[in-house]
Structure 1
Amino acid sequence: MATTVPTPSASHDLSGVTKTLDLLAPRWSVWVLMTLSSQTLRYAEIKPKLPWLADGQLHPRLRHLTGAGLVERTEYAPRHVTYGLTSRGAALMPVLATIASWGDTYLEKDLVANMNTGEMEPERIAPAQNIDDALALLAPRHATPILWSLQARGSATAKSLAADAMPGYGLTAVYKPLERLAADGLITGGDSGDYQLSASGRALTPVFQAISVWAAAPPAEADARRPRGLGPAPSQNRSGPWATTSARRTTPEAPAVRSAGPALTTTSPNGPAWKAGDLFSHQIPARPVLPTGGPRR
């Protein structure tokens, strides 16, 4: 059994990763960021792109992301306010692409009939939904610290994981998050044996690396803002359609993600790369959202 103990530097990286996951986890945050990814928009332009969000849901998301330094609110006049990504928000786009790539490859998809051929094929999931579903697995408390510890150790007992990932908790407290991670397909083992990362758990390495690099970026470099009141006037242009599926709510047209110099480029071995113009596709009637899970969503 490997006994590598995480270094102080690794612990610092872990803190940045968990804080970033907590920042992105609130529902619809990723959708708002991706809507603003290619251009500055007025509120009245954002709302049609996210029609399922009421004002009481969209306003708090914009405030949350503005307060976090990812979105900038620019007031030209009392009734002329625009929203756009800060440089820090733009730098997050390649990170979201990495998360979406992992979700597209490892999260389960239902088989649906191709509208043209009638043949069964995996459903298309919006990258934003892949990201949300991935965050639902990684953001719960103790989930990422346990995965991080297993990445460093290779394999570990529940006792070792409790000491690494949940200091201050009793041994029994570690079993519930371990059971969840096993049910989600991210770890294997248990039943008196050591725990290890599954294939999908090991494939999270580039995800954690990309988040860590973004979280560690110096504030002066990563959070530079445009002067308030300056910048281009809101665009009236509309962007290409977003990819959606029958398993999700019907989504409106929204912009393709702008490249922001990815800190880490990943291409799914068994799934398509995230390319501009591929974010969203045709509209399909909605049905209730399925539960999120490892091999299950």
Structure 2
Amino acid sequence: MAIMLHPDTSADIARVSEALAMLTPRWNVRILSALAGQPLRYQEIVHEVPWLQSGQLSPKLRQLCEAGLVQRDEHSSRHVTYGHTDRAAELMTVLRLVATWAERYLGKPEQPLSAIEQIEDSLALLSGRHTAAILWVLKIRGEAGGRTLARLVMPGNEVTSVYPPLRQLVADALVDTDGMGQPYRLSASGAGLGPVLGALSAWAAGAPLPQGAQHPVWGRFKAAPAPQRWVSNQSPSQLPAPVTVPPPNRTVHAPSLAWQSGDLFSHATPPRPQALTAGGPRR
């Protein structure tokens, strides 16, 4: 994806987009959550994720191993276990921040959702093509018209190409506008993604998660309050509490990263009644 932005910002967006693309496929978050405790044997994982059809688990475990999130240990020819890598353990903290954001901003369905379902729906809102780039530009500029967004996010494409993703972001209540021809800006729920995107950016760059509070774009936020309760009987204990980070001591104006770029993984539509409510489930 070619983005006409500062090279550090463009690389940051690309890493976050790649991380979201890896997490969003169905069942990936559930498999990682199942492995949050002690390593499990294959049949034990099958018991934890019974929704997977026969033959679906093996390729997903292989993909997560290749991504550096799951470690496969062969103790003997008949004893193989799967567990988290250090990268996956850090990622669970990021997912806990996603759950906190969802509890505050995600549209409430008629039937309460589990924490995992809320995380899956939140990631689906963020994983659309060009979504991360548009959110970054609007956070940096405050507001921007469609032509400006098209020039920055989709250089070389027709200006009209930017409007389908913008319409989706407006429908998902992550972006606001006063009407056709008017500039776009982040909604309250879009701006509330600061802790999530700052931490996800730090994780994707291989930086310590507390550095998300000093992110050059998303670092100027107050710590999001913890949800008062979970919306289902499912225990959130497998998703550790987010790292508490102090607010940045200085305001960073230049959209350049404070850390070294690193590999992503361990190895090489009716209007919303309230702007504060983000889009509902995509199932």
TM range, normalised to the smaller chain? Answer: 0.7 to 0.9
What TM-score results when the alignment is normalised by the length of structure 2? 0.73
Inter-CA distance 97–265: structure 2 relative to 1 (3 Å threshold): farther
Task: Tell me if structure 1 keeps the 8 A contact 2:96–2:241.
Answer: no
Identity score, percent: 44
2:129 counterpart SS class: coil
Whole-Å separation in 1 of the counterparts to 2:102 and 2:18: 20
Per the alignment, residue 130 of structure 2 pairs with: 142
> Within 5 A, what are the aligned runs for 1:73-92?
73-92=72-91
Asked if the contact 1:70–1:88 (Cα under 8 Å) also holds between the matched residues in 2, the reply is yes
For residues 131 and 213 of structure 1, the distance between their equivalents in structure 2, rounded to whole angstroms, comes to 19
**Structure 1 73/55 Cα, relative in aligned 2: closer, same or farther at 3 Å?**
farther
Residue 246 (structure 2) pairs with residue 262 (structure 1): no
Instruction: Supply the distance in 2 between the matched residues of 1:255 and 1:76 (Cα, whole angstroms).
Output: 30
* 1:186 Cα deviation from its structure 2 partner: 0.7
Question: What secondary structure is seen at the aligned counterpart in 2 of 1:256?
Answer: helix
Give the structure with higher Rg (CA). 1
> What RMSD in Å do the two structures reach over aligned CA positions?
2.7
Structure 1 residues 169, 69: CA separation in 2 closer, same or farther (over 3 Å shift)? same
Q: Which amino acid aligns with 2:70?
A: V
Deviation at 1:111, TM superposition (A): 4.8
- 1:83 alignment partner, SS class: strand
Structure 1 counterpart of 2:39: 40
Q: Does 1:198 align with 2:187?
A: yes
Question: Which residue of 2 is the match for residue 207 of structure 1?
Answer: 196
Q: Distance in 2 between matches of 1:255 and 1:75?
A: 30
Judging changes above 3 Å, is the alpha-carbon distance between structure 1 residues 11 and 107 closer, same or farther for their aligned structure 2 residues? same
Which consecutive unaligned segments of at least 5 residues does structure 1 have? Answer: 113-122, 220-242, 246-250, 267-292
- When residues 103 and 260 of structure 1 are mapped into structure 2, their CA distance, relative to the original with a 3 A threshold, is closer
The whole-number CA distance in structure 2 between the counterparts of 1:20 and 1:133 is: 15
Q: Which residue of 1 aligns with 2:153?
A: 165
Q: Normalising by the residue count of structure 1, what TM-score does the alignment of the two structures yield?
A: 0.70
Matches within 5 A, 1:1-297: 6-111=5-110, 123=112, 125-189=113-177, 190-217=179-206, 256-257=237-238, 259=240, 262=243, 294-297=278-281
Q: Give the letter for the 2:196 counterpart.
A: V
Cα distance in 2 for residues equivalent to 1:27 and 1:56? 14
Higher mean Cα deviation, 17-26 or 54-63?
Answer: 54-63
**CA–CA separation in structure 2 for the residues paired with 1:213 and 1:95:** 10
Gaps of 5+ in 2: 209-229, 248-276
Q: Deviations over 1:51-75 (max 9, x none)?
A: 1112322112111111100000111
Deviations 1:209-266 (A, max 9, x none): 01011011169xxxxxxxxxxxxxxxxxxxxxxx785xxxxx9x88832649838599
